Amino acid sequence: MKKSNIVLIILAGFVGLILLLVIIGFLYYKSNYNRMITRQEYVAQQWSNVENVYQRRADLIPNLVNTVKGYADFEKETLTQVIEARAKATSINIDANNLDANTFGQFQQAQDGLSSALSRLMVVVERYPELKANQNFLELQAQLEGTENRIAVERMRFNETVGEYNRYIKMFPRNIIFKFEEKPYFESQEGTEVVPTVEF
């Protein structure tokens, strides 16, 4: 065999090896990138579910406020706080693809403010037995309680989805090759870790 044929065979083998490595690298890159995009879309989908239940709560509040307004001596300040908290909570819109800690914190703070205002409203309602007996109010209260439960479930699911996404993007070598941003979690409302004291 001629020396030139041996060189050509070695060169062809070397080119074939480089081509094989490029193809393997491309397939690895494509596969991991697509998985990261899929996980990012799961986060966006779950975020839409969270927004949906928060919107449901916001939609119930005007009916609740109108029912309570019918009682002339009901505290106007409490109703005003609920209306203002609702307006603030519905004014913050976040694109699921741009969930950063700052805007997410503002969203959560506004929603927690609305939750607090609704809790105060329910405490004040306790002083009005005729309002508590109103069938429309009872139905709205039941719907609101159900929605609050849905919110808790969707927030938990969102946190699980974000956890899977964050773990996936942080794994080596994906964390070096790709520049995907970590997504924030929902955190419990400040003060919920303190057990309330009940006195009789």
The 3-class secondary structure across the chain, one letter per residue, is CCHHHHHHHHHHHHHHHHHHHHHHHHHHHHHHHHHHHHHHHHHHHHHHHHHHHHHHHHHHHHHHHHHHHCCCCCCHHHHHHHHHHHHHHHHCCCCHHHCCHHHHHHHHHHHHHHHHHHHHHHHHHCCCHHHHCCHHHHHHHHHHHHHHHHHHHHHHHHHHHHHHHHHHHHCCCHHHHCCCCCCCCCCCCCCCCCCCCCCC
Q: Is the pLDDT of residue 199 over 80?
A: no
| Higher per-residue pLDDT: 190 or 8 | 8
In a domain, 105, yes or no: yes
In a domain, 15, yes or no: no
In a domain, 8, yes or no: no
Please say whether the dihedral angle defined by the alpha carbons of residues 137, 196, 86 and 98, taken in this order, is positive or negative. negative
Q: Residue 106: give the domain boundaries.
A: 40-177
Q: What is the average pLDDT across 74-98?
A: 86
The whole-number pLDDT of residue 48 equals: 93
Q: Answer for the pair 36, 174: CB distance below 8 angstroms, yes or no.
A: yes
Which pTM does this prediction carry? 0.80
Vertex 31 angle, CA 33 and 155, to 5°: 55
% of the chain exceeding 70 in pLDDT = 92
Q: If we measure between CA atoms, which residue out of 65, 67, 66, 59 comes closest to residue 137? A: 67
| Higher per-residue pLDDT: 101 or 73 | 101
In a domain, 154, yes or no: yes
Write the pLDDT tens digit of every residue in 169-183: 999 888 888 888 899
Confidence of residue 74 (pLDDT cuts 50, 70, 90): low
In a domain, 98, yes or no: yes
Question: To 10 degrees, what angle do helices 76-91 and 101-125 make?
Answer: 160
Write the pLDDT tens digit of every residue in 143-197: 999 999 999 999 999 999 999 999 999 998 888 888 888 999 988 766 544 434 4
What's the domain count of the chain?
1
Please report, for the domain that includes residue 80, its CATH number: 1.20.1440.20
In a domain, 28, yes or no: no
| Higher per-residue pLDDT: 18 or 199 | 18
* 167/88 Cα distance (integer angstroms): 33
Q: Is the pLDDT of residue 100 over 70?
A: yes
In a domain, 184, yes or no: no
In a domain, 182, yes or no: no
